[in-house]
Amino acid sequence: MSKTPAKAATKSSRPYDLIIYGATGFTGRLVAEHMLATYGVGGEVSWAMAGRNAAKLDEVRTEIGAPDSLPLILADASDAESLTTMVALAKVIVTTVGPYQLYGEPLVAACAEAGTDYVDLCGEPAWMAQMIAAYGDKAKASGARIVFSCGFDSIPFDLGVWFLQQEAKSRLGSPLNRVRGRVRKMKGTFSGGTAASLLATIEASGRDRSLLAVMANPFAMSGGFTGPAQPDGNVATYDEGLGQWAAPFIMAAINTKVVHRSNTLLGHAYGQDLTYDEMMLTGPGKAGEKKAKALTSQNTIQNALLAFGPTRALIQRFALPQPGQGPSKTERETGFFDVLFVGENAAGQSLSVAVTGDKDPGYGSTSKMIAESALCLAHDVDATTTGGGIWTPAAAMGQALIARLRAKAGLTFEVQNL
């Protein structure tokens, strides 16, 4: 286990490009497997695994087939000194330890203090808004680039809108002020971490009712900017342009806030009048309508049940994956997602792009996305260009991350002819 002193002069002099914090968890282990299969150990990319249990770290290293030369680092969210030591060793920390509102703040604080870049899988907007307020200025001062939501929530959506807007400016000469995100197909499961984060958010909202307003506000992470009224994605809707019915998408409340924050960070490159929503397509005709309305009713019932404490306790005990559990390798590798983004500008011109992934969105694709996001910060995006602060994937990495995801993570970004 590493005993390296806590201080390192600059990020460029640190021994590791990235450290996977939470490597003994199910998703953390998948991140380590991706790193091993794609970059090996002892090559051009230097990386290590970190967690609070030495025996479990050693066990994971053996089980994934990594050599004993892969470094292991002890660190625990309840031990500030161990976090300080860990973040001083790496250019970027990859953390899969959630729910972040329960375990994440000490690591954000340590990275912001040390000027260490950070990526996570957070889908907890109220907590992210709190971290922006608490550590945004410190991260700017230290040069730390804190990037939340580097998994299925919210990379395909945040970068999908970014890619669409870049294509629109190139092809049409102006950004698109009305954008619709539509999940066309998806096979796989949301991660247990995403579900646990949802439950933790509901618990927190019960203790602090002001968080409900944050969750309902699409501009909650936009630095005080308030744009136009946004579409209601909570009811079954007929999408005239696509000729299909659409139902609410569970991750829309997260992704829409990230997209609007990206727009703000980019100086409103998408326009100050952007409207954006996300839904799941259910098909045309009566069958599509029936499915959309059934899913909308199901979503309403689920939300009501989640508001009831005993129901949440049962879900936590019996429905969520337990530590170390998740879908099988076959389930992960046969999963996929396909998301369409349709935009229109003030002149009535339209353009569409699609983002697809070749693995289960919550685990297989997510583990690749977060790893490549970290390496994008470490190798591809000049820190002097972005500067320190709390970023979104699109605003911090844009085209550089798209190139990595295409090359290393099985994602596609393509213009569509509808």
CATH number at residue 42: 3.40.50.720
* Tokens linked to 246: 């659409």
Per this entry, what is the length of the chain? Answer: 418
| Together in a domain, 209 and 264 | yes
Question: Using CB atoms within 10 A of its CB, is residue 142 exposed (0-12), middle (13-18) or buried (19+)?
Answer: middle
Q: Which residues contact 52 (CB under 8 A, 6 or more apart)?
A: 74, 75, 76, 77, 79
Nearest residue to 55 (alpha-carbon basis) of 25, 81, 24, 85: 24
What's the pLDDT score for residue 10?
A: 78
What's the pLDDT score for residue 119?
A: 98
What's the pLDDT score for residue 188?
A: 87
- Residue 3, domain member (yes or no): no
Domains contained in the chain, number: 2
User: Phi-psi bin for 216: left (phi > 0), alpha (psi -120 to 50), beta?
Assistant: alpha
Domain that holds residue 115: 11-151+365-408
State how far the Cα of 403 lies from the Cα of 372, in Å rounded to an integer.
10
Q: Which helix (H) or strand (E) holds 244?
A: strand 244-248
| Together in a domain, 341 and 313 | yes
- DSSP per-residue string spanning 73-99: EE--TT-HHHHHHHHTTEEEEEE----
- Residue 2, domain member (yes or no): no
| Together in a domain, 175 and 112 | no
- Residue 219, domain member (yes or no): yes
Please identify which residue in the block is written with the tokens 């002193």: 5
Mean per-residue pLDDT pooled into runs of 10, the chain (418 residues) = 48 94 96 98 97 97 98 96 98 94 96 98 93 97 98 96 98 97 89 65 70 86 95 94 95 95 98 97 97 86 50 48 72 95 96 97 96 98 90 98 98 92
| Together in a domain, 176 and 49 | no
| Together in a domain, 38 and 128 | yes
* Tokens linked to 279: 């839904």
| Together in a domain, 69 and 113 | yes
